[in-house]
Amino acid sequence: MVHCFEKGSAKLRSAVETTYALIVNPAAGGGRSLRILPEVERAFDEMRMVFRVERTRSKEHGMDLALGAVYSREVPVVMSGDGLIGAVGGVLAGTGSPMGIIPGGRGNDLARGLGIPTDPTAAVEAVAAGNTVALDVGVANGERFLGIASVGFDSEANRIANASRLSGNTVYAWAALRALAGWKPQRFSLVERGVQTRFTGYTVAVANNGVYGGGMNMAPSADPCDGLLDVITVGEVGRLRFLLNLPKVFRGTHVDGENVKSWQTSVVEVSAGRPMTVYADGDPLTELPARIRVLPGALPVIVPGELP
């Protein structure tokens, strides 16, 4: 669980005084968003919340719908997986508009990190309560993200998972095994404040939220409200040892390994010995080399919990 509430939170107007734009990705979670939509609509109605429903045709369409809702003084509530939620959150950053989240995807990692329940009715109740925290937003080569920007083994596993038709979180474990079979450690370079560090290994992950890949606790100390990014690097190790350590990622205990390093920063430049794609919020984000930085407190997000 993140520590955003320790830094203070705010509260929206009463739910019955607010109009919500429910932005639904029909393809999220293999159709999960559409399957739970009737229950979500029923929960909005039972709480006497004024809302309208918009179905997206693409990620760009969803972003446009969110900006249109802000222009109409509505609160955008995104019902999707991490991809659309991250894209909408990125475009809303700096507008001052809050964003609500109804988990409707396969991994739902941002919602998991923020404590937003996957149960549709409970998620709507959290939106109605209107507690907001100021979330940091990551930026890689000008492209914004909310979760973890990763490159190397992790991004290859993400690519394999996205191409799979498997459902549920097991797809991420399957994808990791597939990626491991063909993976060769790569040479990475990181630059911070003019100082360059090189290492050979598996992954560079720059984390805002700590969770990705369907519940993997990659950056257990990451707090998306602290104005900093957590950098995690996984160095060279044999495949068998790497495989045996994979379950530790779900518990967050992998960071204790001697081949894993972690620290915090506000900006880092990442490059590698060959072309690589950076993934974030479940989707391709940009290419290496990448300059990754943080926009502190740029996005109000509606989360569960009582105000301190």
CATH of the domain at 229: 2.60.200.40
Both 213 and 248 in a single domain? yes
Lowest mean pLDDT among 21-25, 121-125, 281-285: 281-285
Both 128 and 154 in a single domain? no
Packing angle of the helix pair 170-182, 153-163 (nearest 10 deg): 120
129 domain residue, yes or no = yes
Quote the number of domains for the chain. 2
- Tell how far CA 7 is from the center of its chain: 20
Q: What is the CATH number of the domain that holds 124?
A: 3.40.50.10330
Q: What predicted TM-score, i.e. pTM, was given to this entire model? A: 0.90
Pick the catalytic residue: 109, 154, 256, 283? Answer: 283
pLDDT in tens, 42-76: 999 999 999 999 999 999 999 999 999 999 999 99
**Structural domain boundaries enclosing 14:** 4-135+298-302
pLDDT in tens, 273-293: 999 999 999 899 999 999 999
308 domain residue, yes or no = no
- Hey, which bits of the chain come out as E strands? 10-11, 19-24, 50-55, 75-80, 100-103, 131-140, 143-145, 148-152, 186-192, 195-207, 211-212, 216-217, 229-235, 260-265, 267-272, 277-280, 283-287, 290-302
H-assigned helices in the chain: 32-46, 59-71, 82-92, 109-114, 120-129, 153-163, 170-182, 239-251
Both 85 and 33 in a single domain? yes
Query: In the annotation, is 283 catalytic?
Result: yes
Residues in the chain: 308
Both 108 and 38 in a single domain? yes
Lowest mean pLDDT among 198-207, 251-260, 266-275, 284-293: 251-260
